[in-house]
Structure 1
Amino acid sequence: MDGWTGRVLLDGATNPQGVETVAPQILLHARGSERSGPPVLLFASMEDKDVRGMLAPLPSHWPLVLTQTGAPRAASPTSLHTQLASSRRGPCLIAEDTPSALRRAAGLAAAGGLIVVFGSLRLVGESRAALGLQPA
């Protein structure tokens, strides 16, 4: 992520109920980074998920980067964009894979900002690998 200095929050929420449950903690972490701009959401999901419902608990003005994991039933970023772009007030961008999505998110996040990775456990795992983090 080429010198970007910020924080990445990896979350395993994979359905609307999960995101609703963790949203207060995400918002709490976001408060610490608001001075450096809004957090950037990095999102991927499976084809059969309620993606609008998953994003509903989080502010629509936060930038959103959509990507696709290597999972067999992963939704394409183009399909996600078609479903979500009209409900977003902030930028809604596409990246072809997890490493490029992380780079794109870092480009949107200010220095010291926050990237929130969620929607797919596979995305969390791919992000950990791309960031060089050890398995949890």
Structure 2
Amino acid sequence: MNTFNVNHNKYWQEGKGEIISLLSNIVSEEEAKAEQEIHNKKDVPYFQLCLFALLFLGLVTVVWQLPASVYEQFIAGDKISQARAVLSICTGCLSLIVVKPDSWKELLTAFVASALIFIPLLK
């Protein structure tokens, strides 16, 4: 009976050591994954920034280069500069969200918010 307890305790101690080392390996792997995710988030997405800048500048150029007659069809003459400013801001927001949307709900919300801001400027 005494040898059984000694052997049982020996195997239990070995098993406990293996479990502890397995758990410590899992914890260290999770910590490494978390550090890698943090490092990945710090990387600057140059392609997305360039795409955003080009899209934004292109849309703002179009908004400000359109003749006043285009705006007068929809907007009172005294609100054209306000409409251009609002459209510029909206295109900036939409460009940013189109380039890197977190979800389709965010994209839809941006379009709806832009429309709600622009509607009061219409005739």
User: TM-score interval w.r.t. the shorter chain?
Assistant: under 0.3
Structure of larger gyration radius: 2
Q: Which has the higher helix share?
A: 2
Q: What is the TM-score when the length of structure 1 is the normalising length?
A: 0.23
* TM-score normalised over the length of structure 2: 0.24
Q: Which has the higher contact order (CA 8 A, sep 6+)?
A: 1
